[in-house]
């Protein structure tokens, strides 16, 4: 789709409640231009009104910012807002190097269609993002799910540096559910998800493994670092509940299945030896190093 004779096209999107920012351009270099929504520029007027604004000759028109005029060399300008989800999301700005005829109805019509396409594309992007979020996120805890684990753990194994994984399980959670009800149990899990996720680094991966069991991957984190993380997490289990954890650090050659098997064996050992503790697998599938209960550390 072309706008006849146009020298440049800019896409401005709402960055926040106070600014528009250029996110794409054709015909002129992309510059980090931010427009304050308090200023009466053509783009802002179109954005706020939700209606197109055409300026046949920008010379002396205070609604055209000097910076945008300098970037484009514009003499004529058309700002067309585009909408999505019932609200204006941004503006498409087209400029011409020569004064454009006032009867630019064809350009206005073409740009309106282009803006409609932008709005539809945003709707598709938002829908795809929502579907992806639903497909990769546990709705109760906000943690990632096993699909993300299957995709991300192999990638983590290609990065340099230590990699530790852990399995965590809430102790006697079935008894808690039986005593307080499943709604109370769900409240504990939701609170735990918010708390634990807030304590981790962006590169860490925490997933709901199933029920009251969770898996944690800690890239670039040696065993002492990983144990510290586990103890901090276990200390934040809500409503007086406790958790056991099994930790295994990748030896650089074993399969994911072998690594997870060691973490699972360490978790089993933590439960067998009294629960409410972290146990580290060392030296291979059979070796475990008993940690201390959180209350003693």
Architecture of domain 8-136: 2-Layer Sandwich (3.30)
What pLDDT was estimated at residue 257? 96
Place of tokens 């809430």: 170
Whole-number pLDDT of residue 149: 96
What is the pLDDT at residue 122? 63
pTM: 0.60
pLDDT of residue 283: 56
What CATH number has the domain spanning 146-296? 3.30.70.270
Task: Kindly list the catalytic residues.
Answer: 212
Residue 216: strand pairing partners: 166, 206
The half-sphere exposure of 113 on its side-chain side, counting CA atoms within 13 A, is 8
Helix (H, G, I), strand (E, B) or coil at 115: helix
Contact by Cβ (8 Å): 216, 225: no
pLDDT of residue 5: 62
- Write down the residue that tokens 């650090």 correspond to: 249
Domain parsing of the chain, residue ranges: 8-136, 146-296
Indicate the burial class of 268 (C-beta count within 10 angstroms; 0-12, 13-18, 19 or more). Answer: middle
E-only strand ranges, the chain: 8-14, 19-26, 34-36, 53-55, 76-84, 87-96, 163-170, 205-210, 213-219, 243-249, 277-281, 288-293
Asked whether 205 and 166 are in contact (CB, 8 A), the reply is no
Q: Tens-digit pLDDT profile for the chain (297 aa)?
A: 345 566 777 888 887 888 888 887 777 766 677 888 888 888 888 999 888 888 888 877 878 777 667 777 778 888 888 887 778 888 888 888 877 655 455 556 666 666 667 666 666 666 566 667 778 899 999 999 999 999 999 999 999 899 999 999 999 999 999 999 999 999 999 999 999 999 999 999 999 999 999 999 999 999 999 999 999 999 999 988 999 999 999 999 999 999 999 999 999 999 999 999 999 997 544 445 444 333 323
Ramachandran bin of 86, using left for φ above 0, alpha for ψ from -120 to 50, beta for the remaining angles: left
Q: In the prediction, which pLDDT does 3 show?
A: 52
């Amino acid at each position: 789709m072309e706008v006849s004779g146009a020298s440049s096209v800019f896409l401005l999107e709402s960055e926040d409640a106070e600014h528009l920012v250029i996110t794409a351009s054709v015909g002129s270099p992309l510059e980090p231009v931010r427009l304050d929504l308090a200023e009466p520029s053509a783009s802002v007027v179109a954005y706020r009104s939700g209606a197109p604004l055409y300026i046949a000759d920008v010379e002396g028109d205070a609604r055209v910012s000097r910076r945008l005029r300098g970037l484009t060399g514009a003499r004529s300008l058309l700002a067309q807002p585009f909408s999505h989800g019932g609200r204006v999301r941004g503006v498409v700005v087209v400029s011409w190097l020569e004064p454009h005829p006032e009867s630019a109805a064809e350009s206005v019509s073409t740009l309106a269609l282009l803006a409609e396409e932008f709005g539809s594309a945003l709707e598709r992007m938002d829908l795809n993002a929502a579907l992806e979020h639903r497909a990769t996120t546990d709705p109760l805890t906000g943690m990632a799910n096993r699909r993300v684990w299957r995709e991300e753990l192999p990638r983590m194994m290609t990065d340099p540096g230590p990699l530790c994984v852990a399995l965590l399980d809430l102790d006697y959670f079935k008894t808690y559910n039986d005593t307080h009800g499943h709604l109370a149990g769900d409240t504990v899990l939701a609170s735990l998800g918010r708390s634990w996720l807030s304590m981790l680094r962006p590169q860490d991966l925490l997933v709901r493994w199933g029920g009251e069991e969770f898996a944690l991957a800690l890239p670039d984190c040696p065993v002492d670092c990983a144990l510290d993380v586990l103890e901090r997490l276990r200390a934040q289990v809500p409503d007086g509940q406790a958790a056991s954890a099994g930790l295994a650090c990748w030896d650089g050659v074993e399969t994911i299945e072998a690594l997870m098997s060691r973490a699972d064996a360490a978790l089993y050992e933590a439960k067998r030896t009294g629960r409410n503790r972290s146990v580290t697998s060392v030296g291979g599938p059979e070796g475990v190093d008993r940690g201390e209960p959180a209350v003693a550390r």
